[in-house]
Amino acid sequence: MAHDAAMPMTFSVTFSWARQLAAVTVAWCALALLPALAAAPFENTIAQRTMACTACHGAQGRAGPDGYYPRLAGKPAGYLYNQLLNFRDGRRHYALMTQLVDPLSDDYLMEIARYFSALDLPYPPPAAPAAAPDVLQRGKALVLQGDPGRRLPACVSCHGQAMTGVTPHVPGLLGLPRDYLNAQLGAWRTGQRRAHAPDCMANIVGQMNDADIHAATSWLAAQPLPASSKPATALPAAPASQAVPACGSATAPRGTRP
């Protein structure tokens, strides 16, 4: 990773630990209530039951303030469901989350995923771009056109022309801090983050060098959301010259849909 990206990352992680201690305390208290909900004195709604989650992920899952706790609100339900399975089943690693989702059934995880997905909350304005104009230009080209010479598909061919994601399984790429984008792509590179097979993102990241990642995330993090921030409902038509690799996903639990 370019060294100018390393500084804010270190800062945000250190800062997060202090915040995390407080959040974890709240999370454990809320979680302790989960099995006893029938007898709980407060309303037994999914909003109440996910208080353990929003302690870290911000009110209604709108993201923590520092780029470390990702937004959940409005992301495609199938994507969120896949991530909950990923944490539970060891394809993504964050011990505190894994402990929370470990005892939960597939059905309940889908219910949680659908709840956060249906929330429609405004996004914060994008950060001012920190990278040089030629880097941003390169990032824009990678995201919108890919690099056919290196068989690197355009990010928009899967994440949607408006980059707001595609239901049910592909997340959007806008409204996410650069630190978060860098951390996720870095985690794919080191194998810390995996998706259901075929893990298309692992292949894509494997074809990107540090400069590509820096350019793409710098440009993405500086883009505002379009007027409609909802995910598209179909993948954009791919040009015949650019085959789009397949991506894996979990099957939704019987009787549910993402």
* Distance in angstroms (rounded) separating the CA atoms of residues 80 and 96: 17
**Cβ atoms of residues 71 and 63 within 8 Å:** yes
Task: Give CA separation, 118 vs 13, 110, 114, 235, in Å.
Answer: 29, 12, 6, 20
CB nearer to ligand HEC: pick between 51 and 130 = 51
Bridge-partner residues for 152, per DSSP? 147
User: Which residues form the interface with ligand HEC (CB under 6 A)?
Assistant: 20, 23-24, 27, 50, 52-53, 55-57, 68-70, 72, 75, 79-80, 82-84, 92, 94, 96-97, 100-101, 112, 142-143, 153, 155, 157-159, 169-171, 173, 176, 181, 183-185, 195, 200-201, 204, 216, 244-245, 247
**Cβ atoms of residues 145 and 206 within 8 Å:** no
CB nearer to ligand HEC: pick between 5 and 155 = 155
* Distance in angstroms (rounded) separating the CA atoms of residues 154 and 152: 7
List of residues 6+ apart from 209 with CB closer than 8 A: none
Q: Rounded to the nearest whole angstrom, what is the least distance from the CB of residue 17 to ligand HEC in the complex?
A: 11
Q: Rounded to the nearest whole angstrom, what is the least distance from the CB of residue 121 to ligand HEC in the complex?
A: 14
CB nearer to ligand HEC: pick between 1 and 24 = 24
- Phi, psi at residue 110, to the nearest 5°? -65, -40
* Distance in angstroms (rounded) separating the CA atoms of residues 19 and 108: 27
Q: Rounded to the nearest whole angstrom, what is the least distance from the CB of residue 235 to ligand HEC in the complex?
A: 8
Q: Rounded to the nearest whole angstrom, what is the least distance from the CB of residue 256 to ligand HEC in the complex?
A: 16
CB nearer to ligand HEC: pick between 153 and 258 = 153
Q: Rounded to the nearest whole angstrom, what is the least distance from the CB of residue 239 to ligand HEC in the complex?
A: 13
* Distance in angstroms (rounded) separating the CA atoms of residues 48 and 180: 27
CB nearer to ligand HEC: pick between 114 and 130 = 114
Q: Which among 191, 205, 198 has a CA at the least distance from the CA of 93?
A: 191
CB nearer to ligand HEC: pick between 130 and 196 = 196
Q: Rounded to the nearest whole angstrom, what is the least distance from the CB of residue 213 to ligand HEC in the complex?
A: 8
